[in-house]
Structure 1
Amino acid sequence: MFDRAHRISSLALLAMTSALSACSGGGETGAGSSSNVTNPPYSGPTYHKDIVPILQKSCQSCHRPGDIAPFGLMSYEEAKAAAPLMTIETKARTMPPWGAFETGECKPKNPWKEDLRLSDDEIATIEAWHQAGAPEGDPKDAPAPIETFANDLEGKDLELAPSDPFVTSGDSDQFQCFVLDPKLLETKYMNGVFFVPGNPKVVHHILLFSDPGKESLKNAPVGGNYTCFGGSGVPGTKLLAGWAPGGVPMELPANIGTPLEAGSLLVMQIHYHPGGTTADPDATAVQMRFSDAPPEYYLTTALIGNDQTPKPGGDGLLPGPNDGAGPEFRIPAGAKGHTETMVFTLPGMLNGGPTPKIWIYNVGAHMHLVGVDQKISITHTDGAEECLLQEPQWDFSWQRGYAYDAPIESLPVFAPGDKLVNRCTYDNSKDNPALVDALLEQGYTDPVDVGMGESTLEEMCLSALGVLTKAP
């Protein structure tokens, strides 16, 4: 939950904690207080009664021994030491890691599944507990501890891992793609998927792609790996699933499945975060479950956006700030609040036949390090706008997909003539800390003009829609 903790030095954290301990009376009468004055019993939040339930719900899946978070939150002593930082990060809503927020211009009609966000009351409880000196309270008030965390996919049919562990550098972010062969002799329908990090200290996020054309073999053999950034790095792949720390198995309803063609390979992209240990090996595995019979609905992923030019009918890249003679995808060096907007109109014919009814099951945004805000919406044929997702504090390191917590009949519908609108906002200045780090890694001291592409100092503006259609 608090992967950003390295931004505050341990010395500063120790000083803050010590000062708070010295200043807080913990509800006791001070040494100089009058003996006939009795403080009322403490009635505010305590660790066992009020803080543990919050930590169990939104924090402990990452902040536990051996996982990616830099410190634990499994005991009172750990939580008390982190109380100042917990207050700062939760009030800023940078932790727990979650990008989908309601804003003045985006209010999706459905809630999200597995929503990690803390409520206003929970954030206020953490702050009040910290300000009171982080009292422990009575252990009898605590809920039962979580004995196990998600580490397996129920009913899995397949588990694949690279031939050899990948050894990380320990001192920089790395993006590596692994080629896997599920050896499918016929079309299968994926109904569940889960990722088992081999080394949770360094595995930051995972994306899984199908590769029906086996294009990945041009970069590495089955079981091998190659360097990639932003995606699979090869054409023709289809996004299947993603994972971030704290993730649970993706369990689809029994009547939904994702088709995987016979002979398809898989490409598993892993973002390795520097764990501080040189030559730290990882052998992450992916588990998959397939439906026993063809499902009622197909779930597939449509990647829409990344337009560099206008298209007929008002689609493609729209005119924007800092354009030259015509619309162009270019983010000038030093530009702040720069926007690029792209439109896709759903046609009436698709794949040689009438476009079927499409429901949007989940949605994800994708930019690189210059990106700071992405809004994905649909303008329906009647002119009404429906916002699907906005990530107003985009963080490349915590990208994920967001599934609506609603029955199929209540999901957003994408109908012929509707327009999907991607609006991406960028900060190509030194006020963008993610960009500053990337510039230094690439040997630059100042921002440079940024165009579209796959590399670190190029950008994207892409939406990933998980779409449901009736099986033929």
Structure 2
Amino acid sequence: MLRLNRITLGFALLSLAPGCADVPSAADGDSTGTDTGGDGDGDGDGDGLAQETTWHQHIAPLMMEKCGQCHRQDGIGPFSMVDYEAAASWAPLALEAVESGQMPPWGADETEECVPRHGFKDDPRLTDDQLALFNDWILDGTPEGDPATAAPIPELASIELADADLRLTIPGDIEVGPGPDKFLCFVLDPGFTETTFIDATQVVAGNDKVVHHVLVYVDESGQAEQLAGDDGRYECFGGPGLGQPTLISAWAPGVPPSRMPEQVAMNVAAGAKIVVNVHYHPTGADEVDSGTSLDIRFAKGAPQYFGELALIGNFGALGGGMGLQPGPNDSGSNPEFRIPAGADDHTETMIFALPNQVPPIKIFSTGTHMHYVGTDMLIGLDRLEPEEGTGIKQECLVQTPHYSFEWQRGYAFDAPLDEVPTAKAGDYLYMRCSYNNSMSNPYVAAALADQGLDAPIDVYLGEETLDEMCLGVFGIAYSIFP
């Protein structure tokens, strides 16, 4: 589903070869733990002698920067990594999780077949130097060091939108007791009496122990109000269950405010409602979420570009070779979205063409969305003609080989708007989704148990818990001026 200028559009993309990896990658980022003294031993003192890696002198600042948003007292992480005793105890398991890609929760990665031309903003992953430093600390026996000469500890970066103009708050208290996860949609009225431009949003969790992630939509159709009860909410999974909503914000713990690029803003029509889709993850105790809110910042002045988050995918066969492609387990002559029970390495691919009425689009962010069966998703772009200024015809936009339904987010390119990938009418998008529908997938086992099942079943395209999706999420901008 994609809304642009009130027109429902489909994208498409010719199948990409692994040559996506030929696109140059971005710089490695910061170099915490590198030697600044010129002697090559990493201690920065110039004496040529390696020094012991300690908590107070080396590791505490790293843990606060990379892990502190979640792994702190009362955070959503199951243990703390910002105080010495806890961090020393959990260090070997934490290192294993980082090396395997499970932590920090960041699904995107560079692979042999996908190296995006730019890196991504707010990347929490440890650099090679930082990972080596953490490993050295464990090999040294996790020494504490001298607190009197501790390195400065960075403050946790603010994850709230300090200059917001409007706050919309979910009404009432939401009880989240032991049991399966909850997915609720709340319908909020921003009270807009005229078209309003928004250039930044931020979800503020009332109880971040249980608010796992949030998706925020604009509904101009009135459907959400019809679905909601007297309490202004309804159950929803995999999306708000609306025809053509516009996605304006996505949040997970530690995610910073969502800001449009400079001169880009989203427009919300008069009378539209805001739908806040919250995934609640129980702790095993009786919890209450109160005050979960959406902060909104209005654009200052008229933007040069309209911006929105476009949902593209979940298509069947569209004819002409577009849409869902033939798959390895199709039972008939027509493409079928079906993941057989027990299949542990199944793929579905979709190809969508950018229609002629679509204006040139700048893609400033992208993300992937599947359900519990999904394990890996790749999104690529293939142009009819090489991109002006770069000569790039094919490129991979993102791959999430560490995909987890529990940790979803968008990935914004770390580049100015005039340098991000562009697409025009006639260009193609390609989405390849991989699935593991066997009991070796712990998410499948848990989802089946929640449904009272003890063996996998065939999975089809749909909204329910045991259905699947293959959906791309794109931050796009297009000129206000024809």
**TM class by smaller structure:** 0.7 to 0.9
Other-structure match for 1:95:
103
Q: Which residue of 1 aligns with 2:46?
A: none
How far, CA to CA, are the matches of 2:404 and 2:206 in structure 1?
Answer: 24
1:130-279 correspondence runs (5 A): 130-147=138-155, 149-150=157-158, 152-220=160-228, 224-279=232-287
Partner of 2:398: 389
1:205-238 superposed Cα distances (whole Å, 9 cap, x missing partner): 1111111112111121586221111111222211
Q: CA deviation at 1:315?
A: 0.8
2:361·2:424 contact (CA, 8 Å) conserved in 1? Answer: yes
Aligned to 1:322: 329
Residues 326-357 of structure 1, C-alpha deviation per residue, up to 9 Å, x if partnerless?
211111111121111101111222xxxxx322
| 1:333 and 2:341 matched | yes
**Structure 2 CA distance for aligned equivalents of residues 301 and 190 of structure 1:** 13
CA distance in 1, matches of 2:159, 2:127: 27
Q: Which residue of 2 aligns with 1:114?
A: 122
Distance 1:236 1:142 in 2: 54
Q: Could you tell me how far apart the structure 1 residues matched to 2:258 and 2:466 are?
A: 32
Distance in 1, matches of 2:355 and 2:50, equals 64
Paired letter, 1:333: A
Q: Contact 1:255 / 1:297 at 8 angstroms: preserved in 2?
A: yes
Per mean C-alpha deviation after superposition, the further-off stretch among 136-145 and 42-51 is 136-145
Cα pair distance change 1:95/1:141, threshold 3 Å: farther
1:86-139 deviation digits (Å, cap 9, x = unpaired): 121111121111011000000000110000111122222212211221011122
Change (3 A) 1:249 1:184: same
Aligned residue number for residue 442 of structure 1: 451
**CA 1:239/1:399 → structure 2, altered by over 3 Å: closer, same or farther?**
same
Cα shift at 1:280: 2.7
CA distance in 2, matches of 1:346, 1:272: 36
Give distance in 2, aligned partners of 1:157 and 1:223. Answer: 26
Give the letter aligned to residue 379 of structure 2.
I
Task: Determine the structure 1 residue equivalent to 2:425.
Answer: 416
2:379 counterpart of 1:372: no
Kept in 2, the 8 Å contact 1:182–1:265? The answer is yes
Deviations 1:412-436 (A, max 9, x none): 0111211100100111111111001
What's the offset of the Cα at 1:248? 1.5
Check whether the contact 1:215–1:236 (CA below 8 A) recurs between aligned residues.
no
Q: Which has the higher contact order (CA 8 A, sep 6+)?
A: 2
8 Å contact 1:180–1:222 — kept in the other structure? no
CA RMSD across the alignment = 1.8
Is residue 315–residue 342 contact of structure 1 (8 Å, CA) maintained in 2? Answer: yes
Q: Aligned-pair distance for 1:283?
A: 2.7
Quick one: distance in 1 between partners of 2:285 and 2:157?
A: 25
Residue type of the alignment partner of 2:367:
G
State the AA in 1 paired with 2:459: V
CA contact (8 A) 1:179 1:222 kept: no
Aligned residue for 2:8?
A: none
Unaligned runs of 5+ in 1: 1-40, 350-354
Task: Find 2:474's aligned residue among 458, 465, 469.
Answer: 465
Q: After alignment, is 119-128 or 98-107 more displaced?
A: 119-128
1:373 Cα deviation after fit: 0.6
Q: What amino acid does structure 2 have at the position aligned with 1:316?
A: G
Moved more, 383-392 or 103-112: 383-392
Sort the Cα spacing of 1:104 and 1:222 in 2 relative to 1 into closer, same or farther, 3 A.
farther
Give yes or no for the alignment of 1:124 onto 2:127.
Answer: no
In the alignment, residue 240 of structure 2 is paired with which amino acid?
S
Q: Which amino acid aligns with 2:97?
A: E
Q: Kindly indicate whether the alpha-carbon contact (under 8 Å) linking 2:64 and 2:156 is maintained by their aligned counterparts in 1.
A: no
Kindly, what percent of the aligned residue pairs are identical? Answer: 42
Q: Are the aligned partners of 2:68 and 2:156 in contact in 1 as well (CA < 8 Å)?
A: no
Shift of 1:316: 0.6
SS at match of 1:398: coil
8 Å CA contact 2:377–2:434 kept in 1: the answer is yes
Q: Tell me which of 361, 364, 380 is aligned to 1:361.
A: 364
Tell me the equivalent position of 1:4: none
Q: 1:179·1:221 contact (CA, 8 Å) conserved in 2?
A: no
**Deviating more after overlay: 261-270 vs 73-82:** 73-82
Query: The residue matched to 2:459 in structure 1 has which SS?
Result: coil
8 Å CA contact 2:431–2:470 kept in 1: the answer is yes
CA contact (8 A) 1:189 1:290 kept: yes
C-alpha separation in 1, matches of 2:423 and 2:188:
33
Q: CA deviation at 1:269?
A: 0.9
Residues 240-262 of structure 1: CA deviation (Å, up to 9, x unaligned): 11111111222334411111111
Q: Secondary structure at the match of 1:83?
A: helix
Deviations 1:12-58 (A, max 9, x none): xxxxxxxxxxxxxxxxxxxxxxxxxxxxx971321122212221221
* Equivalent position SS for 1:397: coil
List per-residue Cα deviations over 1:347-399 (Å, max 9, x = no partner).
222xxxxx322110110101001111100001111484210010012100001
Q: For residue 323 of structure 1, what is the amino acid of its counterpart? A: D
Report the 3-state secondary structure (helix = DSSP H, G, I; strand = E; otherwise coil) of the residue aligned with 2:378.
Answer: strand
2: CA distance between counterparts of 1:461 and 1:247? 23
For the residue of structure 2 that corresponds to 1:295, the secondary structure is coil
Q: 1:327 to 1:409 in 2, by over 3 A?
A: same
Amino acid in the other structure paired with 1:317 = L
Equivalents in 2 of 1:90, 1:423: separation in Å? 25
Within a 5 Å distance, the mapping from 1:49-68 to structure 2 comes to: 49-68=57-76
Bigger mean CA deviation after superposition, 412-421 or 50-59: 50-59
Aligned residues: 427
CA contact 1:179–1:216 (8 Å) conserved in 2: yes
| Pick aligned residue for 2:412 from 403, 408, 414 | 403
Match of 1:341, SS state, is: strand
Structure 2: give runs of 5+ residues left out of the alignment: 1-48, 387-392
Structure 2 CA distance for aligned equivalents of residues 388 and 219 of structure 1: 35
